[in-house]
């Protein structure tokens, strides 16, 4: 840049340095450097590495991002039977958030990646990528990947934590991974476990209306 070398824009007329910004995902080996912006004419002091500063801040910003928890439900519910399959499922959405860091436009994307199920009776499953799905009414009671059988009656609560992976972009550049995960708990789902009793009777209620079970 001839104008930069000639000191154009410098307070004391000293020559400046033309800076071109590149960045790379350090998880790649060897790293693949991608052009970001420039040239920018810098005078005197050492230029700030804005992208490196943002990279150092992004994990903290991700943990502060208001990621919406997953919705989840059970079948049957809010009542189920001891010894029978109770199906649970979760619905979580990919979410994006726009913010400004050091004067740069940053977009964070949170993507659901895994789920930890706490069935409320001491049984915990996960983290697992399996989020389940609701069953048709005619199939309630079937075993599914996320279903659970309760051995005892009582009132309890099912809890779910959804684990989100994060990526970010700076000024519309390529997506970069964010270290760590966002672990977002959903509101507890109350469930009452009942027992079912079956009795067989020999009386014909039409012939003996006073019979047991009539």
| Tens of pLDDT, residues 73-93 | 999 999 999 999 999 999 999
Amino acid 204: pLDDT: 74
Using 50 as the pLDDT threshold, list the residues of the chain that sit under it.
1, 7, 10-11
pTM of the model: 0.73
Architecture of domain 48-194: Sandwich (2.60)
Q: What is the pLDDT of residue 46?
A: 56
pLDDT at site 164: 98
The pLDDT value given to residue 95: 98
Let me know how long the chain is.
214
In whole angstroms, give the CA distance from residue 44 to residue 38. 18
pLDDT of residue 130: 97
pLDDT, one tens digit per residue, over 195-214 is 976 666 666 777 777 766 66
């Amino acid at each position: 840049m001839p104008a930069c070398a000639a000191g154009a824009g410098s307070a004391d007329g000293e020559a400046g340095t033309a800076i071109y910004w590149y960045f790379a995902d350090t998880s790649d080996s060897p790293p693949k450097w991608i052009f970001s912006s420039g040239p920018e004419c810098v005078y005197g002091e050492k230029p700030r590495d804005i992208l490196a500063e943002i990279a150092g801040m992004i994990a903290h910003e991700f943990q502060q991002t208001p990621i919406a928890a997953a919705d989840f439900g059970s079948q049957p519910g809010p009542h189920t039977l001891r010894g029978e399959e109770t199906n649970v499922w979760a619905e979580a959405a990919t979410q994006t958030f726009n913010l400004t860091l050091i004067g740069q436009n940053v977009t964070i994307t949170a993507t659901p990646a895994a789920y930890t199920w706490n069935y409320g009776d001491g049984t915990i499953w996960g983290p697992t990528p399996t989020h389940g799905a609701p069953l048709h009414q005619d199939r309630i009671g079937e075993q599914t990947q996320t279903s659970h059988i309760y051995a005892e009656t009582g009132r309890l609560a099912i809890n779910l934590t959804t684990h989100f992976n994060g990526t970010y972009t700076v000024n519309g550049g390529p997506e970069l991974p964010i270290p760590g995960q966002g672990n977002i708990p959903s509101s507890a789902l109350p469930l009452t476990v009942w027992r079912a009793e079956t009795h067989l009777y020999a009386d014909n209620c039409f012939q003996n209306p006073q019979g047991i079970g009539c």
